[in-house]
């Protein structure tokens, strides 16, 4: 698509003169209010070098450029050159792009040949997949999609919590009190109950702890009977996690979790020793980070066992060797900010310059309307239940509102699950937020159902036109002069920005930037729909309006895809 900022800069540069002393593209602004123009050049920074007052410079530039075809009008106001784009020029450019790119509208190949690892979700085996986990899962999935949309070569990793001393405890508990059928029926609930029972019993019988430790050591050494149980717990847990991933249409390229690195830690420890950063401390080994304002990182315990961070160190090295990433992204809650700061520092101290390519992308906490999510008090809200409830409630709403669909269950699923995802991605990720059913399932506010409904509305207009898209998606058949009204132009400007907004969301690792823009597009379309009658008799006018609607539909559909949501054709 033509880049208006660049084109304008090329027009302005000769008018400013003085060679390339100024970064004109960098100076051009998009005014907050459209009555100040679509683009503006503030002349204050030019004043010193040009030895002239800003308002005089603005006036001069205005006179030199006002007759250019791409402008409808140019005004000089208080030291600014305010430029109004010729709407027909702009619309023709945008619609041509939409017709040309079709379903790929907004996509780019900026990231071609660059590998980006997106690590997200990472629940813990034998522990519930609760509503707190939704954040990493949904935010990570969206970040992966944003990078994919920009042409990066992405790798989705689920770094499962499938290693650690707790497995010694669960194995012990299972051997004492366990039952195979129960585990098969409800794996996570059952395994969790063993874990809880273990702790209760261990209060009175401390020898249980020793037994668990010994069991874990046998597991670490690959003892077959221990390995078999562990593998079974892992498989059963994963089967339950996958139910949730299926509901969310989320996939991974790798499930290499913590256990995958158990045989890769000795080599990592070796490097730390060579670099002289691993120091003994009361029988344990640590990396002292005081110099960097951080507490020491415990790398091996007194008994020689490794820790969470040790596995992350081995994982980082493995990922660099195996994938040679351009970026390695970790979508993990803000409670782990210190962990990742320590980890990145250690990678750097080990002499790996790719530490700068590793990014921890934290997010705030989610709580329920009646208080915080808590595993300890047993008030766990399972993600699966939340999704099922969203679908159920949506179905009730569809019936209540008399919304016509081809397949009510399918629509309820698309909208209900979409609503939860959207709610999650609406606010800046770092903010804590309260999960509220009223907000999730509101069809009128700035919500998932509202955006999906707008998509379905456009689909319905296109169906009602009685015309096949190939009949009107042709720039020569579009009467561009019919779509230069205010609401058409505002919609077009948002569509034009779509690709740039996705780039910004990628740079800031912030899906909410995309979410907000998609809501803006949906609202702009609805204003256009309210102001203008699309299916008019005049063929050129109808073709132009339908093509603009089509462009909005594709942008919304791609936008919803970026969030991990479906775009229903009917609702
Ligand atoms: N399993 C961990 C948890 O639930 C998250 C893992 C995050 N990823 C990592 N590479 N440390 O807290």
Ligand 1 atom index nearest CA of 343: 11
Ligand 1 atom index nearest CA of 161: 1
Q: Are strands 71-77 and 80-85 parallel, antiparallel or unpaired?
A: antiparallel
Whole-number Å distance, alpha carbon 279 to ligand 1 midpoint, is: 25
Ligand 1 atom index nearest CA of 339: 11
Whole-number Å distance, alpha carbon 267 to ligand 1 midpoint, is: 22
Ligand 1 atom index nearest CA of 333: 12
Q: Is the CB of 54 under 6 A from ligand 1?
A: no
Task: Judge contact between 398 and 453, C-beta under 8 A.
Answer: no
Would the CA dihedral through 286, 289, 295, 297 be positive or negative? Answer: negative
Q: Is the CB of 122 under 6 A from ligand 1?
A: yes
Q: Is 195 exposed, middle or buried (0-12, 13-18, 19+ CB in 10 A)?
A: middle
Residue with tokens 């509102």: 401
Kindly report the pTM of this predicted structure. Answer: 0.94
pLDDT at residue number 36: 94
Separation of alpha carbons 157 and 151, rounded Å: 18
Choose among 144, 62, 60: nearest CA to 327: 144
pLDDT at residue number 372: 55
Which residue, by CA, sits nearest to atom 6 of ligand 1? Answer: 122
Angle at 332 between CA 329 and CA 336, to 5 degrees: 115
Whole-number Å distance, alpha carbon 230 to ligand 1 midpoint, is: 19
Q: Is the CB of 234 under 6 A from ligand 1?
A: no
Ligand 1 atom index nearest CA of 308: 11
**C-beta pairs of 235-238 under 8 Å, 24+ apart in sequence:** 236/183, 236/184, 236/187, 236/188, 236/191, 237/125, 237/126, 237/187, 237/188, 237/191, 238/125, 238/160
Task: Judge contact between 9 and 28, C-beta under 8 A.
Answer: yes
Q: Which two tokens stand for residue 382?
A: 């399972």
pLDDT at residue number 374: 47
The helix/strand/coil state of 278 is: strand
Mutational pocket test of ligand 1: of 336, 358, 383, the residue with most ligand atoms within 8 Å of the beta carbon: 336
Mutational pocket test of ligand 1: of 167, 332, 341, 365, the residue with most ligand atoms within 8 Å of the beta carbon: 332
Bridge partners of 75, per DSSP, are 82
pLDDT at residue number 562: 98
Mutational pocket test of ligand 1: of 120, 131, 161, the residue with most ligand atoms within 8 Å of the beta carbon: 161
Q: Is the CB of 319 under 6 A from ligand 1?
A: no
Q: In the sheet where 327-331 sits, what is the strand order?
A: 153-157, 115-119, 327-331, 358-361
Q: Is the CB of 126 under 6 A from ligand 1?
A: no
Would the CA dihedral through 140, 145, 147, 152 be positive or negative? Answer: positive
Q: Is the CB of 160 under 6 A from ligand 1?
A: no
Separation of alpha carbons 418 and 441, rounded Å: 10
- Consecutive 10-residue runs of the chain (571 residues): their mean pLDDT? 90 79 89 93 90 94 95 96 96 97 96 98 89 90 98 98 92 95 92 92 94 92 95 94 95 97 96 97 96 97 91 98 98 96 98 98 86 54 86 92 86 95 94 84 85 96 95 96 97 97 98 98 98 97 98 98 96 84
* Beta-carbon contacts of residue 343 (< 8 Å; ≥ 6 apart): 297, 309, 312, 313, 316
Separation of alpha carbons 433 and 512, rounded Å: 13
Q: What are phi and psi of 386, to 5 degrees?
A: -60, -45
Task: Judge contact between 124 and 380, C-beta under 8 A.
Answer: no
Separation of alpha carbons 373 and 349, rounded Å: 37
The helix/strand/coil state of 365 is: coil
Bridge partners of 327, per DSSP, are 116
Separation of alpha carbons 145 and 559, rounded Å: 10
Separation of alpha carbons 298 and 276, rounded Å: 15
Task: Judge contact between 85 and 38, C-beta under 8 A.
Answer: yes
Q: Are strands 358-361 and 371-372 parallel, antiparallel or unpaired?
A: unpaired
Ligand 1 atom index nearest CA of 335: 12
Choose among 286, 184, 199: nearest CA to 237: 184
Whole-number Å distance, alpha carbon 164 to ligand 1 midpoint, is: 12
Ligand 1 atom index nearest CA of 336: 12
Q: Is the CB of 568 under 6 A from ligand 1?
A: no
Task: Judge contact between 408 and 398, C-beta under 8 A.
Answer: yes
Q: Is the CB of 312 under 6 A from ligand 1?
A: yes
pLDDT at residue number 375: 47
pLDDT at residue number 379: 58
Q: Is the CB of 311 under 6 A from ligand 1?
A: no
Q: Residue ranges of the alpha helices (H) in 252-336?
A: 265-274, 308-323
106: left (phi over 0), alpha (psi -120 to 50) or beta: left
Angle at 457 between CA 452 and CA 458, to 5 degrees: 100
Angle at 316 between CA 310 and CA 321, to 5 degrees: 130
Ligand 1 atom index nearest CA of 332: 7
* Beta-carbon contacts of residue 468 (< 8 Å; ≥ 6 apart): none
Q: Is the CB of 328 under 6 A from ligand 1?
A: no
């Amino acid at each position: 698509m033509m880049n208006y900022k660049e084109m304008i800069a090329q027009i302005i540069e000769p008018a400013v003169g003085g060679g390339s002393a100024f970064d004109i593209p960098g100076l051009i602004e998009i005014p907050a209010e459209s009555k100040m123009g679509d683009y503006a050049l503030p002349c204050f920074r030019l004043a010193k070098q040009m030895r002239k007052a800003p308002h005089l410079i603005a006036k001069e530039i205005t006179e030199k450029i006002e007759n250019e075809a791409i402008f409808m009008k140019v005004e000089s106001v208080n030291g600014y050159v305010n430029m109004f784009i010729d709407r027909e020029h702009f619309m023709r450019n945008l619609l041509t792009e939409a017709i040309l790119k079709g379903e790929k509208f907004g996509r780019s190949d900026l990231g071609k040949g660059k590998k980006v690892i997106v690590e997200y979700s990472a629940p813990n085996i034998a522990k519930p997949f609760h509503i707190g986990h939704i954040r990493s899962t949904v935010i990570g999935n969206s970040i992966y999609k944003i990078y994919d949309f920009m042409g990066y070569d992405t790798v989705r990793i689920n770094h499962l919590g499938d290693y650690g001393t707790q497995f010694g405890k669960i194995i012990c508990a299972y051997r004492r009190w366990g039952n195979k059928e129960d585990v098969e029926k409800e794996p996570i609930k059952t395994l969790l109950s063993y874990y809880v029972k273990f702790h209760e019993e261990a209060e009175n019988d401390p020898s249980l702890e020793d037994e668990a430790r010994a069991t874990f050591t046998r597991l670490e050494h690959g003892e077959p009977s221990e390995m078999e149980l562990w593998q079974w717990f892992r498989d059963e847990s994963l089967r339950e996690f996958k139910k949730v991933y299926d509901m969310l249409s989320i996939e991974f390229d790798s499930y290499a979790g913590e256990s995958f690195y158990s045989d890769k830690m000795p080599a990592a420890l070796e490097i730390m020793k060579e670099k002289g950063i691993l120091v003994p401390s009361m029988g344990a080994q640590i990396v002292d980070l005081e110099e960097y304002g951080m507490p020491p990182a415990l790398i091996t315990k007194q008994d020689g066992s490794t820790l969470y961070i040790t596995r992350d160190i081995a994982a980082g090295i493995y990922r660099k060797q195996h994938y040679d990433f351009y970026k390695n992204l970790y979508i993990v809650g803000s409670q782990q900010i210190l962990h990742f700061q320590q980890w990145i520092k250690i990678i750097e101290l080990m002499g790996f310059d790719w530490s700068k390519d590793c990014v921890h992308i934290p997010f705030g906490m989610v709580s329920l309307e009646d208080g915080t999510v808590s595993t300890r008090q047993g008030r766990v809200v399972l993600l699966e239940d939340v999704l099922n409830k969203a679908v159920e409630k949506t179905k009730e709403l569809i019936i209540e509102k008399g919304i016509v669909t081809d397949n009510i269950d399918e629509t309820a699923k698309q909208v209900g699950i979409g609503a939860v995802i959207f709610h999650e991605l609406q606010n800046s990720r770092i903010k804590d937020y309260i999960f509220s059913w009223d907000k999730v399932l509101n069809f009128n506010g700035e919500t998932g159902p509202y955006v999906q409904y707008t998509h379905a509305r456009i689909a319905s207009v296109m169906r009602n036109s009685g015309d096949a898209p190939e009949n009107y998606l042709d720039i020569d058949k579009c009467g561009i002069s019919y779509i230069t009204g205010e609401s058409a132009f505002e919609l077009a400007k948002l569509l034009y920005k779509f690709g740039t907004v996705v780039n910004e969301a990628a740079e800031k690792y912030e899906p909410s930037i995309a979410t907000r823009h998609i809501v803006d597009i949906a609202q702009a379309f609805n204003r256009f729909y309210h102001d203008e009658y699309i299916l008019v008799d005049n063929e050129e006018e109808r073709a132009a309006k339908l093509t603009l609607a089509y462009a909005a539909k594709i942008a919304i559909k791609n936008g919803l895809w970026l969030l991990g949501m479906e775009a229903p054709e009917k609702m």
